[in-house]
Amino acid sequence: MILHQIENELGSAGPSHVIGPPGRQGATPIEQRGRVSAVRTLAARSSDGITVPIFHNDKGRNGPWVPASLNVPGTVSGPTDLNAFDGYPAGTCHTDGTPGSANTAPDWGIWGPGGAKGGASVSPNTPGSAAEFRGGWFDHWGSVGTCDCMAQREGPGYERVFCETNIANRLTLENFCMTFGGTSWGWLPAPVVYTSYDFGAAINEARQLRPKATTMKEVGLFLESTPEITKVDPGPAVTPSSPAVKVYDDVKPDTGTHF
């Protein structure tokens, strides 16, 4: 284990999102921060033996619960060692099993707009972390079955463009939702989802590999064999000969290695 998550998608610091004492109507933002602090305290107690860095998954990149020492304007500090966020940028399939409109790979790191809603920019002194990055989407009740469509829409090409865009943006921790979703074996995973949690993932509900699994492995082997990629800064702007091409130039400052 290298990290421990204490909360998931608590996306607001407002009083309406606080679970107060019995009979209480609402609470203050200070009390909500106290709630997250209490969870941190429970996780960090010696009887649990958790000594790894602690993080929270920021829903939709809105800037709550970032490490307190960073003080990026517009963020809400929290008892965390690492900031992480989720993102689902690739679109979905329609309920009739056809793909939706195309999307563009976002810049949620060093090539992005920055600020409290820029993804990793809320915590520039900790590793950029996509705690829940789009690897598919669940199939709604009433559809004709969209998991195969999602597996194609977010297939090998998606893995290369979107996930390597994250790497170019210095996101050094990526967790895909899902790599394997599986099944609930007859129970309801959520009110909007039936038994299957296939998600169009790299490993399907029946535990068989889809083509995108091979691409994920290739990207992983590249990262494993190229340690220089773990420490990069934006390099000089590159103007390609065609406007249809976008180029990132990342440079490792210690050695001058370019990617």
- Amino acid 58: pLDDT: 92
Stated as kind and residue range, the H or E segment containing 43 is helix 29-44
Query: What is the arithmetic mean of pLDDT over 127-133?
Result: 95
Is 243 domain-assigned? no
Q: Is 26 within 8 Å of 16 (Cβ atoms)?
A: yes
Is 116 domain-assigned? yes
Q: Categorize the per-residue pLDDT at 79 as very low, low, confident or very high, splitting at 50, 70 and 90.
A: confident
CATH of the domain at 218: 3.20.20.80
Read off the pTM: 0.88
pLDDT tens sequence across 7-51: 898 876 654 444 444 344 454 544 555 677 778 888 888 778 889
Query: What is the arithmetic mean of pLDDT over 150-174?
Result: 94
Is 193 domain-assigned? yes
pLDDT tens sequence across 103-120: 999 999 999 999 999 999
- Print the domain residue range for 62: 4-225
Q: Which residues contact 152 (CB under 8 A, 6 or more apart)?
A: 99, 200
- Is residue 176 helix, strand or coil? strand
Count of structural domains, the chain: 1
Is 251 domain-assigned? no
Q: Categorize the per-residue pLDDT at 192 as very low, low, confident or very high, splitting at 50, 70 and 90.
A: confident
Query: What is the arithmetic mean of pLDDT over 81-98?
Result: 90
Residue with tokens 């941190």: 40
Is 117 domain-assigned? yes
Is 40 domain-assigned? yes
Is 242 domain-assigned? no
| Alpha-helical segments (H) within 136-244 | 147-153, 156-158, 164-168, 211-225
Is 231 domain-assigned? no
